[in-house]
């Protein structure tokens, strides 16, 4: 089964994708995580992608498509978190899947207000060493700014600064929101209320996935 998680940054796509992969064995494919890894390792792709990401802009389609398509084809059940993000990416995905007699099965739209996104993301802190994630208000570390797991000083992702978050939201509305119509026409869209708590939201997703099994 191929699932797409669509929605603005900070809507909880990554958290829900992890839950699905833990319970049902879906391969969680996050293009944002893959690109951050490439930037960290200073690969040729990472060096090209960094400036776009730091600004909150999208990385060019051809780079993202080349990075992700091979991996999608290797797996039976995948949840695509943050891909596709443009019509070009969606068409390219459709093309490549069609060649293998596959298609996207369901698209979950994570709906949420901009101000909630800004509060969630601007308070997020991550451990640069072990990847643990905290929130200054909702899940603070025991010791201020220090990772509970490994004791490293926490950092704020460059793209979690407020002005960059606002830019990412604008980019979402301008370039990604049109995918809603694209997948609506294909009868694949399921809308979710992302203001719900993690467990309730997961319950909605799980039900839709199980209905199809």
What is the separation, in whole angstroms, between the first and last Cα of the chain?
A: 9
Interface with ligand AMP in residues 12-31 (CB under 6 A): 31
Among 5, 39, 56, 109, binds ligand AMP (CB under 6 A): 56
85 binds ligand AMP (CB under 6 A): yes
Instruction: Enumerate the β-bridge partners of residue 139.
Output: 135
By the rule CB under 6 A, 64 interacts with ligand AMP: yes
By the rule CB under 6 A, 32 interacts with ligand AMP: yes
Query: Which residue in 82, 107, 108, 125 binds ligand AMP (CB under 6 A)?
Result: 82
**Catalytic one of 102, 157, 166, 188:** 157
Q: Would residue 168 show up in a list of annotated catalytic residues for this protein?
A: yes
Determine the 3-state secondary structure of 187 from DSSP: coil
Q: Which of 36, 106, 120, 124 is catalytic?
A: 124
Q: What is the largest CA-CA distance in the chain?
A: 52
Asked whether position 209 contacts ligand AMP by CB under 6 A, the answer is: no
In the chain, DSSP finds a helix count (H) and a strand count (E) of 9, 7
Would you give the DSSP letter of residue 160? G
Report the half-sphere exposure of 36 (CA within 13 A, side-chain side). Answer: 13
- Compute and round to an integer the Cα radius of gyration of the chain: 17
Which residues are the active-site residues? 13, 85, 124, 157, 168
- Name the site residues for ligand AMP (rule: CB under 6 A): 9, 31-32, 35, 52-53, 56-59, 64, 82-83, 85, 89, 159, 168
């Amino acid at each position: 089964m191929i699932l797409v998680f669509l929605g603005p940054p900070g809507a909880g796509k990554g958290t829900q994708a992890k839950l699905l992969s833990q319970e049902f064995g879906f391969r969680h494919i996050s293009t944002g995580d893959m690109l951050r890894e490439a930037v960290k390792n200073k690969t040729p792709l990472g060096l090209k992608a960094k400036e776009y990401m730091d600004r909150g802009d999208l990385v060019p389609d051809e780079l993202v498509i080349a990075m992700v398509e091979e991996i999608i084809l290797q797996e039976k059940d995948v949840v695509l978190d943050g891909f596709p993000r443009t019509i070009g990416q969606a068409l390219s995905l459709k093309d490549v899947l069609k060649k293998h007699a596959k298609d996207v099965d369901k698209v979950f739209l994570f709906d949420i207000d901009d101000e909630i996104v800004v509060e969630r993301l601007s308070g997020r802190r991550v451990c640069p060493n072990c990847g643990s994630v905290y929130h200054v208000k909702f899940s603070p570390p025991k010791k201020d700014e220090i990772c509970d797991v490994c004791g490293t000083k926490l950092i704020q992702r460059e793209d979690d600064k407020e002005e960059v978050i606002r830019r990412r939201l604008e980019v979402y509305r301008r370039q990604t929101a049109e995918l809603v119509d694209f997948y609506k026409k294909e009868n694949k869209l399921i809308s979710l209320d992302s203001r719900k708590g993690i467990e309730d939201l997961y319950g909605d997703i799980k039900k839709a996935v199980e209905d199809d099994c």
